Amino acid sequence: MAFALPPLPYDHDALEPHISARTMKLHHDKHHAAYVEKLNKLVAGTALEKCSLEQVIMTTRGDARATQTKIFNNAAQVWNHTFFWNCLAPKTATPKASLRQRIEKSFGGLDKFNKSFKTAAVEQFGSGWAWLVESGGELKVKSTSNAVPPFVDGDKVLLTCDVWEHAYYLDYQNKRDEFVTIFLEKLVNWDFVASRLAETQESAA
Ligand code: MN3
């Protein structure tokens, strides 16, 4: 069964004025769609065709052969983008009490978390992703290059921001810092983050 492009969880213009419909149409309908299309071509007729997306990523991870690297990159980008759309919300919200307490415990408050996340996102050299993860019972901020999702190293992924230029260039040009600031202040779907964290606690129980 071929991998499918999941629809956006909201309309293309739902994140305006922070992210334009033009950016969303290119980012989801062209970039994300292209990763899905390339992945399907690469795995066609192989054993990976029948695997889950996560299995494809874990199987090809660290495999230096050219085709396996391409499969990893495209599969990871499909996963990352689907996850990223869910991290964005048309309505500004704040973390609910239990999540806020975890952020307080790990970072010393939401402002400090925001600062740490922004630094990771802005300082990621070239294309990549900034992440909030749960790792060894602690919340941590990480950044990764190109397509790598931190779950390949065992982290539970809670939040991400795409810092490839295609994510922000039409709306913010070279000002990645402004894009990340708006992401943190206006767009984070904290209920989604909380639901991811709740999954971890259930599976740990
Ligand atoms: Mn992208």
Sheet holding 128-135, edge to edge: 138-145, 128-135, 156-162
Q: What is the mean pLDDT of residues 146-157?
A: 97
192 to each of 94, 164, 177, how far by Cα in Å?
A: 11, 22, 23
Q: How far is the CA of 98 from the centre of ligand 1 (A)?
A: 30
Q: How far is the CA of 48 from the centre of ligand 1 (A)?
A: 23
Confidence check: pLDDT of 1 > 60: no
pLDDT of residue 92: 80
Which domains are delineated in the chain?
Answer: 21-86 (1.10.287.990), 97-204 (3.55.40.20)
Q: How far is the CA of 25 from the centre of ligand 1 (A)?
A: 12
Q: How far is the CA of 196 from the centre of ligand 1 (A)?
A: 21
pLDDT tens string 178-203: 999 999 999 999 999 999 999 866 65
pLDDT tens string 14-73: 999 999 999 999 999 999 999 999 999 999 999 999 999 999 999 999 999 999 999 999
Q: Are 201 and 102 in contact (CB under 8 A)?
A: no
Q: How far is the CA of 31 from the centre of ligand 1 (A)?
A: 7
Identity of residue 74: N
Structure tokens at 69: 């690297």
Q: How far is the CA of 105 from the centre of ligand 1 (A)?
A: 31
Q: How far is the CA of 108 from the centre of ligand 1 (A)?
A: 30
Q: How far is the CA of 101 from the centre of ligand 1 (A)?
A: 31
Confidence check: pLDDT of 205 > 50: no
**Whole-number Å distance between alpha carbons of 125 and 118:** 13
- pLDDT above 90 covers a percentage of the chain that reads 94
- Say how many residues make up the chain: 205
Q: How far is the CA of 187 from the centre of ligand 1 (A)?
A: 16
H helix intervals, 25-109: 33-43, 53-60, 66-87, 97-107
C-alpha closest to that of 167 among 182, 152, 150 = 182
Q: How far is the CA of 127 from the centre of ligand 1 (A)?
A: 9
3-state secondary structure 92-127: CCCCCHHHHHHHHHHHCCHHHHHHHHHHHHHHCCCC
Instruction: Report the C-alpha dihedral over residues 86, 18, 144, 46, rounded to 10 degrees.
Output: 50
Q: How far is the CA of 204 from the centre of ligand 1 (A)?
A: 31
pLDDT of residue 201: 65
Q: How far is the CA of 35 from the centre of ligand 1 (A)?
A: 10
Q: How far is the CA of 70 from the centre of ligand 1 (A)?
A: 16
More confident residue, 181 or 204: 181
Write down the pTM of the prediction.
0.96
**Whole-number Å distance between alpha carbons of 102 and 30:** 37
Structure tokens at 175: 């000002």
34-38, 88-92, 131-135, 198-202: lowest mean pLDDT where? 198-202
Cβ-based neighbours of 56, under 8 Å, separated by 6 or more: 39, 43, 48, 71, 72, 75
The angle subtended at Cα 32 by Cα 29 and Cα 38, nearest 5°, is 115
Q: How far is the CA of 58 from the centre of ligand 1 (A)?
A: 20
Q: How far is the CA of 88 from the centre of ligand 1 (A)?
A: 13
